[in-house]
Amino acid sequence: MRVVGFISEKGGVGKTTACYHVAVALHRYHQKSVLVIDADYQRGGITGRLFPDLIEQFRRGTLPDKTLFSKFQHLYSASNFDPSVNIRHSSVGVDAIVADTRLSNVTTNKLPSTNNIFENNISLINHLKVIKEVIVNLPKKYDYVLIDSHPEISDVLRSIIYASDYCVSPVKLDLQSSVGVPTIVSEIGTVNKDVALMKATIDNNLIYNPTIFSGAMGMMAREYRGTPKQTEADEMRRLRSTGVVFSAYVTEGDGIRKAAQERLPVYDISGTNAEKQSRQFLQLTSEFLTKCP
Ligand SMILES: Nc1ncnc2c1ncn2[C@@H]1O[C@H](COP(=O)(O)OP(=O)(O)OP(=O)(O)O)[C@@H](O)[C@H]1O
Ligand SMILES: [Mg+2]
């Protein structure tokens, strides 16, 4: 089982679109069993895409599911931690843990605090571990667990990084969005360092492989005569100098927009632009399999 976080500091860069299409392609074209965790508490984009009927309930905050939020709450109320959650099965063959607006209330500030440094640190580790504990205790072992996130450096994001074997960062290939990549890489480094410190001092039995940054994914790239526009190409080069970038990228276009409107994967939309974007997502997914093996 591989866990991959789709994270970025910037909003509207294509995280949800990338996470959804990679999830569907892994299942449909690579016969992988896939679970998506929707940790985007504001939009719940994946939840809406997979289960259009649930979006109203999500917005009103009345979804009955046991989501990640109740797991964090166990820690705040110092009650027994129970890692079980509700899993829903979607019509495209991908399973999901749906979004919960209350995840916006997650913060380590709510942990019961004592004047004991050891106890406080144990409770910080437990907070970091929440999503990992849920995944480890899933009733079924998936080939891939993909986590979609809210664009913010937060305690939820830290828990996503801890739970992930790999993280990828969708970027719009403009300067503004791609400057966010070093921030994400640095946050992954911070979580890895914190865990190493905890392992050395607090919990020698902690099993943790440092989370790997697998790369930035170019989304909504604009092309000129079949190759990325000069500005986009420059941005790719700049990103390469700061870290890993996927060679495959997805162009900006109507196929994805139409797919979003119809709440379908772009693979099921007709029209030349949709076919082109489908091919691009399939290439991106093949590269994803090599970068997140
Ligand atoms: N290649 C593309 N071509 C055209 N439109 C796109 C493309 N990729 C994404 N979009 C559209 O751009 C918008 C933002 O994409 P998306 O929701 O995936 O971003 P996000 O990073 O998840 O945003 P947020 O941070 O708000 O969750 C959506 O309306 C989506 O349909
Ligand atoms: Mg999103």
| Helix (H) or strand (E) segment spanning residue 50 | helix 45-50
Sole residue written with tokens 């000129």: 224
- Ligand 1 within 6 A of CB of 257: yes
User: Is any ligand 1 atom within 6 A of the Cβ of residue 198?
Assistant: no
CA angle 181, 130, 125 (to 5 degrees): 85
Distance 12 CA to ligand 1 centre (A): 5
Cα–Cα dist 258/276, whole Å: 13
Tell me the mean pLDDT in the region 135-152.
Answer: 96
User: Ligand 1, closest atom to CA 11?
Assistant: 25
CA distance 183 to 240: 15
10, two tokens: 């910037």
Q: Over the stretch 174-184, which tens digit does the pLDDT of each residue have?
A: 767 677 888 99
Is the shortest distance between the CB of 43 and ligand 1 below 6 Å?
Answer: yes
> What's residue 143's pLDDT?
98
Rounded to an integer, the average pLDDT of 102-117 is 92
**CA-to-CA dists, residue 144 to 95, 137, 183, angstroms:** 11, 15, 25
Q: What is the pLDDT of residues 194-234, one digit of tens each?
A: 999 999 998 888 889 999 999 999 998 888 777 878 888 88
Number of helices and strands in the chain (H, E): 11, 10
Task: Return the HEC string of 152-209.
Answer: CCCHHHHHHHHHCCEEEEEEECCHHHHCHHHHHHHHHHHHHHHHHHHHHHCCCCCCCC
Q: What would the mean pLDDT of 141-168 be, rounded to a whole number?
A: 97
Mean of pLDDT over the chain: 92
Tally of CA atoms within 13 A in the half-sphere of 22 that contains its CB: 31
| Segments making up each domain of the chain, as ranges | 2-291
Torsion of CA 101, 104, 108, 111, to 10 degrees: -40
SS3 (DSSP) at 91: coil
* 11 Cβ closer than 6 Å to some ligand 1 atom: yes
Q: pLDDT digit string (tens) for 24-79?
A: 999 999 999 999 999 998 888 999 999 999 988 888 888 899 999 999 999 999 88
Answer yes or no: are the C-beta atoms of 231 and 174 closer than 8 Å.
yes
Burial of 293 (0-12, 13-18, 19+ CB in 10 A): exposed
pTM: 0.96
Q: How many residues does the chain have?
A: 293
- Which has the closest alpha carbon to 249: 214, 213, 223? 223
- Which pair of tokens denotes residue 77? 């109320």
pLDDT of residue 114: 86
More confident residue, 113 or 140: 140
The one-letter code for the residue type at 57 is Q
What six digits make up the tokens of 130?
């929440």
pLDDT confidence of residue 224: 77
The answer on pLDDT for 81 being more than 90 is no
The answer, yes or no, to whether any atom of ligand 1 lies below 6 A from the CB of 258, is no
Nearest atom, ligand 1, residue 170 CA: 21
Give distance in angstroms: CA of 247 to centre of ligand 1: 20
Domain covering 2-291, topology: Rossmann fold (3.40.50)
Q: Is the CB of 250 under 6 A from ligand 1?
A: yes
% of the chain residues with pLDDT over 90: 75
Euclidean distance between CA atoms 132 and 209, whole angstroms: 12
pLDDT band at 148 (very low <50, low <70, confident <90, very high): very high
Higher-pLDDT residue of 88, 202:
88
107 or 180, greater pLDDT? 107
Higher per-residue pLDDT: 243 or 53: 53
